[in-house]
Amino acid sequence: MDKNETGRGISTETSSPEALKSIALKVREHIIRLSAGGGCFIGASLSCVEIMVYLYAEFLRPGKERGGNPAGVDEKSISRRKNPGRDYLFLSKGHDVPALYGTLVEMGWLDKDRLKNHLSTRDSIYWHPNTNIPGVEFHSGSLGHLPAVASGVALDCRIGGGDNRVVVITGDGELNEGSVWETLLVANAYGLDNLTLVVDRNQFQANIRTEELVPLEPLEDKFRAFGCAVRRIDGHDFEALGAAFEELPMQKGKVNIIIADTVRGRGLPSIEARADRWFCAFSDAEIRELLEELHGNVHARIESETLVVR
| Beta bridge mates, 215 | none
Tell me phi and psi for residue 40, to 5 degrees.
-160, 175
Task: Name which of 187 and 280 has its Cβ closer to other proteins.
Answer: 187
Convert 13-35 to b/e letters by CB count within 10 Å (16 or more is b): eebebeebeebbeebbbbbbbbb
Instruction: For other proteins, give the closer residue by CB, 148 or 291.
Output: 148
Q: Of 15, 151, 170, 262, which one interacts with other proteins (CB under 8 A)?
A: 151
Nearer to other proteins, 162 or 249 (CB): 162
Q: How far is the CB of 190 from other proteins (least distance, A)?
A: 8
Site membership for other proteins, residue 148 (CB under 8 A) = yes
Residue 151 vs 210, nearer CB to other proteins:
151
State how far the Cα of 267 lies from the Cα of 236, in Å rounded to an integer.
10
- Spell out a b/e string for 61-91, using b for 16 or more CB atoms within 10 Å of the CB, else e: ebbeeeebbbbbbeeeeeebeebebbbbbbb
CB of 121 to other proteins, least distance (A): 17
| # of chain residues touching other proteins (CB under 8 A) | 33
* Cβ 95 vs Cβ 42: under 8 Å: no
Q: Which of residues 148 and 250 has its CB atom nearest to other proteins in the complex?
A: 148
Residue 115 and residue 33 in contact, taking contact as beta carbons nearer than 8 Å: yes
CB of 51 to other proteins, least distance (A): 21
Chain centroid offset of residue 270 CA: 23
Question: Quick one: which of 9, 17, 84, 85 contacts other proteins (CB under 8 A)?
Answer: 84
Q: Does 257 bind other proteins (CB under 8 A)?
A: no
Q: Applying CB under 8 A, which of residues 27, 52, 60, 155 lies at the interface with other proteins? A: 155
Query: Is residue 194 a contact point for other proteins (CB under 8 A)?
Result: no
Asked whether 146 and 168 are in contact (CB, 8 A), the reply is yes
Q: Is 299 helix (H, G, I), strand (E, B) or coil?
A: coil
Instruction: Return d(Cα 225, Cα 105) in angstroms, integer.
Output: 39
Interaction with other proteins in 164-193: which residues (CB under 8 A)? 179, 182-183, 185-186, 189-190
Say how many Å lie between the first and final Cα of the chain, rounded: 37
Scanning residues 107 to 146, which ones bind other proteins (CB under 8 A)? Answer: 131, 137-139, 142, 145-146
Distance of closest approach, residue 224 Cβ to other proteins, in angstroms? 20
Indicate the residue among 115 and 143 with the shorter CB distance to other proteins: 143
Which of 10, 166 has the CB closer to other proteins? 166
Angle at 163 between CA 97 and CA 179, to 5 degrees: 45
Q: Which residue lies nearer to other proteins by CB, 59 or 138?
A: 138
For position 300 contacting other proteins by CB under 8 A, the verdict is no
Pairing outcome for strands 166-171 and 195-201: parallel
Chain contacts with other proteins (rule: CB under 8 A): 77-78, 80-81, 84, 131, 137-139, 142, 145-160, 179, 182-183, 185-186, 189-190
